[in-house]
Amino acid sequence: MNNPGTPRVDVLANHNRRSLTDAIQCLAARWPDICATTTSERPVFVLAAGWRSGSTLLQRMLMPECFIWGEPYGHSGMLQSLADPLRCITEDWPEPHFFYHGERASNVAVTLRRDEPAASDVAALVDAAMRQEFEAEGRSAEVEQEVDRALRDGGETAGLITTERDGYIGERDRDITERFVANLYPSVATLLDAHRAYLETLFVQPARDAKAQRWGFKEVRLSADYAHYLKLLYPALIGPLRKMLATRPS
């Protein structure tokens, strides 16, 4: 039986055969908002079908306007290694409840109402009142059951747990410890932000140091799949195409 946090065996087995473009289409279908990402960066990517295709000439022509890196760390497969894990994303993995939904890392009380002034530690006061009453009646287990009931009613998302015991009416934020955390992932939008941050950390500042306002790179090892990947990261990209046979005379 597979660990619930691990993609199904069939997904992993087909990882290298699955089209990155298919995975990106799946991403866009499951999380449409990621395709509307805006960024101030306007990179230029020169992706050639192979060597001796005129890509270096185009790189030189663009240099006065845009700092174009030349096949950066190409033999290492750097960009491919960054993009390829996205192939594992499918219609049903990661499961929706794996994602973090904004819960607080710890309990923080937000309100308490009573005739006398509120104590400084509201959550502790409410919990103490509940425990005192429940234990006096031999019902200490109901403290934990109260949390379980709130989770069933509200689901595993951020929200408030309301308690009313011994004249106290209190609300406290549901914290992260009250949901399943064995598989807990940042959002896909955050994942793609990290991909952009990697590329921009590597390429942007050195280009700025060269007094260039725009940046990009030239590559001859990338398939059309990776053009779709770059388009996913930078939706405003416009890609002029040159037919492969037209490169032969040049």
Q: What percent of the chain has pLDDT over 70?
A: 59
- Whether 91 is covered by a domain: the verdict is yes
Contact by Cβ (8 Å): 91, 128: no
pLDDT range class, residue 53, cuts 50, 70, 90: confident
Listed residues 154, 178, 202: the one ending a domain: 178
d(CA 234, CA 153): 40
Given strand 160-165, what is the order of strands in its sheet? 109-113, 168-173, 160-165
Q: 42 or 106: which carries more pLDDT confidence? A: 42
Listed residues 143, 178, 213: the one ending a domain: 178
d(CA 184, CA 36): 25
Tell me: do 25 and 46 sit in the same domain. Answer: yes
Contact by Cβ (8 Å): 123, 107: yes
**pLDDT for 246:** 59
Average pLDDT over residues 188-203: 96
Tell me: do 50 and 130 sit in the same domain. Answer: no
- List CB contacts of 180: < 8 A, sequence separation 6 or more: 97, 156
Parent domain of 55: 9-99+185-247
Tell me: do 14 and 85 sit in the same domain. Answer: yes
pLDDT range class, residue 134, cuts 50, 70, 90: low
Listed residues 125, 156, 178: the one ending a domain: 178
Q: What percent of the chain has pLDDT over 90?
A: 43
Average pLDDT over residues 94-105: 84
Residue range 159-187, pLDDT digits in tens? 444 444 444 444 445 567 777 788 899 99
Tell me: do 153 and 189 sit in the same domain. Answer: no
- Whether 2 is covered by a domain: the verdict is no
Average pLDDT over residues 94-120: 63
Strand (E) or helix (H) holding 44: strand 44-47
Computed over every residue of the chain, the mean pLDDT equals 75
- Whether 113 is covered by a domain: the verdict is yes
- Whether 117 is covered by a domain: the verdict is yes
Tell me: do 155 and 82 sit in the same domain. Answer: no
Tell me: do 33 and 57 sit in the same domain. Answer: yes
Cα→Cα distances 152→134, 148, 169, 185, Å: 21, 6, 21, 22
Tell me: do 194 and 82 sit in the same domain. Answer: yes
Tell me: do 58 and 38 sit in the same domain. Answer: yes
- Whether 1 is covered by a domain: the verdict is no
Rounded to two decimals, the pTM is 0.66
Question: What is the number of structural domains in the chain?
Answer: 2
Tell me: do 115 and 227 sit in the same domain. Answer: no
Tell me: do 173 and 215 sit in the same domain. Answer: no
For residue 211 the two structure tokens come to 């007094």
d(CA 81, CA 86): 10
Average pLDDT over residues 122-126: 51
